Amino acid sequence: MKILIKNGRVVDAVTGILDAMDVLIEGESISKVSKDIKDQVDTVIDASGKLVLPGLIDMHVHLREPGREDKETVASGTKAALKGGVTSVLAMPNTTPAIDTPDHLRLLAGIVQKTALAKVCICGSITIGRLGKELVDIAALKSLGAVAITDDGDSVDDEGVMSEAFKKAKDADVLVICHCEDKKLSAAGVINLGFVSTQLGLRGISRESEYKRVERDLRLAKEAGARAHIAHVSCKESVELVRQAKKSGLAVTAETAPHYFSLDEDALMGYDTNLKINPPLRRPEDVLAIKDGLKDKTIDCIASDHAPHTENEKEIEFDRAAFGVVGIETELSVAITELVDKGILDWPGLVEKMSLNPARILGLNKGRIAAGSDADIVIVDPQKEWVVTKDNFVSKSKNSAFLGRTLKGVVEYTVCAGKIAYSIG
């Protein structure tokens, strides 16, 4: 199957922006990137006036299958991903059962093989049952295809266990993704601890509960000489800790989610449970710190932390509502609206955060529009505006932090593994 994408503005994190370029796809690879390609092809896509980006790679997605197929499945989640321009996801292992044993991994792998519409990379948990006590067999999971481990949703409280995890992960060359939260300090809180939590009369989650754990995990990673990836960075202290760790030569990477660079806790006046997230929305100075962290490359990736929940679990009292927001369908548009449009990142910078860096961290031959790269491409109209409504969503769940907002940037085509996997209209 040959596809020719004509006349688009090609953005590659390494080569920059190339105007009026053609991209030729053969089979599952990009075979040529140059002007005026004259080859005979099966399909031509006219990308005039549009941006041609490498398919996005989202390192933090909860597909909910197996166990909570009412919220999302591998099929519906990857379908939603493609609409959002995402061609590869790293599936979080806090499913039921958790991806903690070879059998459970095979179970998920089987589902992925049969139903996934985009690339799904497998992530194992750190401990059995995610209970924080007994380590999984990291090497075994790696041999079955796991590229990373995390107990995301929880942190491993026991230092000894976490230290051991880093060491074994290093030996197996597996990435450890750290959900940094000291539950003793977050104290059953539901939003950021501060004046907003005081006004709303809600229990607060202190910033210490995040950054003290970031501090610990960075220290343990250093001691073990292992790679660490800090998930969903939300506050300025965490950004600074990662910055210093990188300066001192540590092999650490970090991600943040779109809501952390576009919303702060003031949005919660009114008790909107679609803004109840863990870690919580913080203060305006944290939003600025995150943007600075993206700019100076302290933060390597943008990952949605796509967390689908049913209406039953969200449209209830704030205290009782589930934590989390969907995000895979809106992340590109939010990034365009809040970062590119506002001059925080340029297009190559955006593509680096949302495609190239995740590819490098996960060891994938993706994230680039260059000959030989995997043919994962998204074609975007960068000027078109759209309003986020519940009806828009392909995902089974509609708990978005951006409902009612107007965003810029609409995905027109998503090419995945050399095939047109999504087209608008």
Partner 1 sequence: MKKGGWVRKDLLGLQELSKEEIELLLATADSFKEVISREIKKVPTLRGKTVVNLFYEPSTRTRVSFEIAAKRLSADVINIATESSSVRKGETLVDTGKNIEALKVDIIVVRHNCSGAAVMLARQLRASVINAGDGWHEHPTQALLDIFTLKEKLGKIEGLKVSIVGDIAHSRVARSNIWGLTKLGAQVTVCAPSILIPPGIEETGVRVTNDIDEALKGADAVNVLRMQFERDTDSVFPAQLEYFKNFGITTDRLAKAKKNIIIMHPGPINRGIEIESAVADGLNSVILEQVTNGIAIRMAALFLCAQANEYIKKKVASQPKQHEDIN
Q: 3-class SS at 160?
A: helix
- Please pick, from the candidates 160, 201, 249, 425, the single residue that binds partner 1 as defined by CB under 8 A: 201
Q: Residue 217 corresponds to which tokens in the numbers above?
A: 């995990």
- Please pick, from the candidates 51, 75, 169, 202, the single residue that binds partner 1 as defined by CB under 8 A: 202
The count of chain residues that interact with partner 1, using the rule CB under 8 A, is 22
Smallest separation, CB 266 to partner 1 (Å): 12
Looking at the Cβ atoms of 216 and 236, the one nearer to partner 1 is 236
DSSP 8-state class, residue 356: I
- Please pick, from the candidates 43, 199, 244, 389, the single residue that binds partner 1 as defined by CB under 8 A: 199
Determine the residue type at 422.
Answer: Y
Smallest separation, CB 200 to partner 1 (Å): 6
Smallest separation, CB 316 to partner 1 (Å): 5
Alpha carbons 111 and 380: distance in angstroms, whole number = 30
Q: 3-class SS at 46?
A: strand
- Contact between 66 and 107 under an 8 Å Cβ cutoff? The reply is yes
Smallest separation, CB 205 to partner 1 (Å): 12
- Contact between 366 and 418 under an 8 Å Cβ cutoff? The reply is no
Does 343 help bind partner 1 (rule: CB under 8 A)?
A: no
Stretch that binds partner 1, among 196-204, 216-224, 246-254, 377-385 (CB under 8 A): 196-204
Smallest separation, CB 91 to partner 1 (Å): 30
User: Judging by DSSP bridges, how do beta strands 51-54 and 56-61 pair with one another?
Assistant: unpaired
Does 266 help bind partner 1 (rule: CB under 8 A)?
A: no
Smallest separation, CB 267 to partner 1 (Å): 14
Residues, the chain: 425
Count CA within 13 A, CB hemisphere, residue 397: 30
Q: Which of 100, 264, 305, 374 is catalytic?
A: 305
Looking at the Cβ atoms of 276 and 368, the one nearer to partner 1 is 276
Looking at the Cβ atoms of 82 and 403, the one nearer to partner 1 is 403
Residue 19 a catalytic site member: no
Smallest separation, CB 72 to partner 1 (Å): 22
Q: Residue 244 corresponds to which tokens in the numbers above?
A: 């210093």
Q: Which residue has the tokens 């995905």?
A: 411
- Please pick, from the candidates 96, 113, 198, 365, the single residue that binds partner 1 as defined by CB under 8 A: 198
Q: Which residues contact 314 (CB under 8 A, 6 or more apart)?
A: 273, 274, 276, 321, 322, 399
Stretch that binds partner 1, among 37-45, 72-80, 223-231, 310-318 (CB under 8 A): 310-318
Looking at the Cβ atoms of 19 and 317, the one nearer to partner 1 is 317
Using a 10 angstrom Cβ sphere, with 0-12 exposed, 13-18 middle and 19 or more buried, the burial of residue 210 is: buried
Smallest separation, CB 273 to partner 1 (Å): 8
Stretch that binds partner 1, among 97-105, 197-205, 213-221, 255-263 (CB under 8 A): 197-205
Q: Residue 258 corresponds to which tokens in the numbers above?
A: 């779109």
- Please pick, from the candidates 88, 94, 197, 333, the single residue that binds partner 1 as defined by CB under 8 A: 197
- Please pick, from the candidates 35, 96, 134, 195, the single residue that binds partner 1 as defined by CB under 8 A: 195
- Contact between 123 and 154 under an 8 Å Cβ cutoff? The reply is no
Stretch that binds partner 1, among 195-203, 238-246, 251-259, 391-399 (CB under 8 A): 195-203
Alpha carbons 395 and 420: distance in angstroms, whole number = 19
Q: What binding mask, one character per residue, do residues 173-192 give for partner 1 by CB under 8 A, x or -? A: --------------xx----
Q: What binding mask, one character per residue, do residues 213-252 give for partner 1 by CB under 8 A, x or -? A: ----------------------------------------
The radius of gyration of the chain from alpha carbons, rounded to an integer in Å, stands at 20
User: Judging by DSSP bridges, how do beta strands 148-149 and 175-178 pair with one another?
Assistant: parallel
Element of type H or E holding 292: helix 284-295
Q: 3-class SS at 306?
A: strand
Q: Which of residues 311-330 bind partner 1 (CB under 8 A)?
A: 312, 315-320
- Contact between 78 and 116 under an 8 Å Cβ cutoff? The reply is yes
Q: Which residues are catalytic?
A: 305
Binding positions for partner 1, rule: CB under 8 A: 187-188, 193-202, 204, 270-271, 312, 315-320
